[in-house]
Amino acid sequence: MLRDTWLVFWRVMLPVLRNPVAVVFGIAQPLLYLGLFGPLLGEGGWQWFVPGLLVQMALFGTAYAGFSLLPEVRTGVMERLRVTPVSRVALLVGRVGKDVVLLVVQSLLIMLAAMLFGFRASAGQVLLGLGLVALLGVAIGSVSYAIALKVKLEYVFASVLSASIVPLMLLSGVLLPMSNGPQWLYWLSRVNPLAHVVDAERSIFNPGTVTYGLISVALLVVAGVLYGIRTFNRESA
Amino acid sequence: MIKARGLARRFTTKAGPVDAVRGVDIDVAEGELVGFLGPNGAGKSTTLRMLTTLLRPTAGEALVAGHDLLTDPAGVRRNIGYVGQKPGAGLDQRVADELELQARFYGLSRHDARRKVAGLLERFDLTGLEQRGVGTLSGGQQRRLDLAMGMLHDPRLLFLDEPSTALDPQSRRNLWDHIRQLRADGVTVFLTTHYLDEADHLSDRLLVIDQGAIVAEGSPDELKHRVSGDLVVLGTPQAALVATKFADAAVDGEKVSFRIPNGDRALPSLLKDLDNIGVELHSVQVHRPTLDDVFLTMTGRSLREDSNAA
C-alpha cells in the first residue's frame, strides 16, 4: 500500500514538476495579504498574523484540491485506476500527499518572505509550524476529495466550498482576534475547530499553549481521512 | 473465463427502484471474442461494470478470470484488462508516464515497466508519441493508448466498453484490427457495442441484451438464421396479386416484400413462376437478414432507431 500511495503521489506530482512556476503563482494571494494587509497590524503584528496566514493557506490550498479530481472522474481516468489492483486508500492518500507537499513548500516560502518584513522564528518553530499546517492540510484535503467524488459537478462543488470555507475562515480569527468581537461571536468561534488550530499555530511562534489546537487537528485528521477513505472505497467513480 | 449466474443490479432512484440488469447468465470460454450487443440503456455497461469490479451486483455471483467477483475482487482486478468507454489517460500527463505508471500499478518494477511499455508502444502504433501530452493526441491515438494501458500486464481476459464510439471510420477499422490481433494472440475479449457492424465483424459469438435481460445468444450467422429467410422486395404494378402468393407479404404501393429461405437460390425459379402467371416486374432486391432484423424479431423494436435516438 505504501508503494501504491507513492505511485499515485508520483503520478499527480509529475505535471506539477513539469510546471513548477504554478507553485510560485500559488503563493501570490498570501503574498498580497503579507504585503498589503500585514502592515496594517502595526509593530509586532507579524508574529501574530503570519501563523494565521499559514492556516488560511492550508485551508484554501487544500479545500480546492478536489477540483483536480473532477476532470479525472469525468473522463475515464478514475475508472481506469479503479480497475487496477491499486489500493483504494492509495488513490486518496497519494493525491492528498501531493497537495500537502505543495502546501509545505508554499508555507515555507511565505515564512521566508515574512522574515523580510520582520517575522522572527527559529528553525524548530518553523518545523513545528509546518507540521501543524501539514496535518490540517491532510484533514481538509481528504474531505475535499471525498466531497468532489460525491458531487461530481464543478458548480455544485464550488458552491459547497464557498458555503463552508468562508464561515470557517471568518470564525477562525485568522485576520483579526475573535476576542475583539461580541461574546456570541467569540463563542461561535470556540466551536470552530479551525480557531483552535489557529491559536495553536500562533502559540508555536509566541508564548501560549498548543494543546487544544493539537487535539483539534488530530480529531480533524482522523475524521477527515476516515471519511475520505470510506467515500473512496464506496463511491463508483 | 467468465461464468456469471443471475447477475443483477438494481439502482435506487427518486422515482423508485430501477432494475438495470435483471439477472443475467454469461458464459465465456477461453480465447473467445464475445460481443455484448444492445441499445443504449439496455444494461450493457452496467453488466460490464459489475464484471470488472467497478459496481457491486445486488444479486447473483460470478467467476471472472478464475476469481470470485464478490469475495476476491482484487484477484479479479489483477487478472483482467479493462478499457472503458471514456478516455482513461490524464490529459495533463505524458504518454510514456501514464503507461509506465499503469504497469507499475500492476506490480511491475520500474525496469520491467519500461521494457513492457517499449513493446506496447510499437504494438499499438504509438512509437514517437512517448513524450507527447495526452491532451495533444488524436481520438484514435488516445483510444490506442487506452488499449495499450489495458494490456500492460498481459491479461488473459480483456473487457472493452464501446471501444469505437466517437472514432472516425478509419480509426475504427484500425482499432478492429488491433482487437482481432489480440484474439489471434489468445486473449479472451468481451466487448460491448451498440454498433451492428462492429458486433457482426468482430465477434465469434454475440449476447443480445435488451431491458436488462439477455434475449438472444449465438454466432452472428446463427442469429441471422433465426430470422426466417431473406427479405425479397419486388417492384411490380400487380403488387396485390403477387402478395396473395406469399405468406406474410407486405404491399407498399408498387412494391411487395416477403421473406423466403435462401432467397438468392430460390429467386430464379420464383421469378419464372411469376412470369408464367403474367406478372410484370420492374425491380428485384434480395436482402440478407441483418443483426437489426434479429433484434427486431426478438424484441419488436429496431436497434438502429434506438442507437440513433441516443
- B82 CA to chain A: closest CA distance, Å? 7
For B28, the 3-state DSSP assignment is strand
Going by C-beta distance under 8 Å and a sequence separation of 6 or more, which residues neighbour residue A49? A37, A38, A41
Residue B307 vs residue A23, higher pLDDT: A23
Residue among B74, B90, B104 whose CB faces A7 most closely: B104
Going by C-beta distance under 8 Å and a sequence separation of 6 or more, which residues neighbour residue A78? A69, A72, A91, A237
Closest CA in chain A for residue B146: A80
Mean pLDDT of residues grouped by 10 in chain A (237 residues)? 95 93 86 88 86 93 93 93 94 96 94 91 94 96 95 93 92 87 91 92 89 92 95 74
Q: Rounded CA gap, B191 and A205, in Å?
A: 61
pLDDT at B305: 55
Closest CA in chain B for residue A11: B101
The predicted model scores a pTM of 0.86
Q: What is the DSSP letter of B165?
A: T
Interface with A, mutate which of B45, B69, B78, B92 (most A CBs under 10 A): B92
pLDDT at B251: 87
Backbone angles phi, psi at A225, to 5 degrees: -70, -40
Q: Collect all residues of chain A within an 8 Å Cβ-Cβ radius of residue B155.
A: none
Res B310 pLDDT > 50: no
Closest CA in chain A for residue B158: A83
**Contact between chains at B107 and A85 (C-beta distance less than 8 A):** yes
pLDDT digits (tens, 9 = 90+) for B17-72: 999 999 999 999 999 999 998 888 889 999 999 999 999 999 999 999 999 999 99
**Contact between chains at A83 and B92 (C-beta distance less than 8 A):** no
**Contact between chains at A85 and B84 (C-beta distance less than 8 A):** no
Q: Rounded CA gap, A221 and A197, in Å?
A: 12
Q: How many beta-carbon pairs below 8 A join chains A and B? A: 70
Q: Do the bridges between strand B59-64 and strand B33-37 make them parallel or antiparallel, or are there none, so unpaired?
A: unpaired
> Rg of the Cα trace of chain A?
18
pLDDT at B200: 87
Res B301 pLDDT > 90: no
Mean per-residue pLDDT over chain B, rounded: 89
The number of angstroms, rounded, from the C-alpha of B204 to the middle of its chain's C-alpha atoms is 11
pLDDT at B288: 83
Average pLDDT, stretch B95-121? 94
Q: Collect all residues of chain B within an 8 Å Cβ-Cβ radius of residue A71.
A: 90-91
pLDDT digits (tens, 9 = 90+) for B174-210: 889 989 999 999 999 999 988 888 888 899 999 999 8
**Contact between chains at B93 and A76 (C-beta distance less than 8 A):** no
pLDDT at B304: 64
Q: Collect all residues of chain A within an 8 Å Cβ-Cβ radius of residue B104.
A: 7
Residue closest to A27 by CA, chosen among A35, A131, A201, A172: A35
Which residues from B are below 8 Å from A when comparing CB atoms? 49, 52-55, 74, 77-78, 80, 82, 84-94, 97-98, 101-102, 104-107, 146, 149
DSSP track, B256-300: EEEEETTHHHHHHHHHHHHHHTT---SEEEEE---HHHHHHHHHS
Confirm whether the ipTM is greater than 0.85. yes
Residue closest to B172 by CA, chosen among B144, B133, B200: B144
Residue A227 vs residue B231, higher pLDDT: A227
- A12 CA to chain B: closest CA distance, Å? 9
Q: Rounded CA gap, B255 and B264, in Å?
A: 18
pLDDT at A237: 42
Strand order in the sheet with B213-218: B80-83, B157-161, B188-193, B33-37, B205-210, B213-218
Res B307 pLDDT > 90: no
In this structure, which amino acid lies at residue A51? P
Q: Do the bridges between strand B230-235 and strand B255-260 make them parallel or antiparallel, or are there none, so unpaired?
A: antiparallel
Average pLDDT, stretch B276-294? 85
Average pLDDT, stretch B243-268? 85
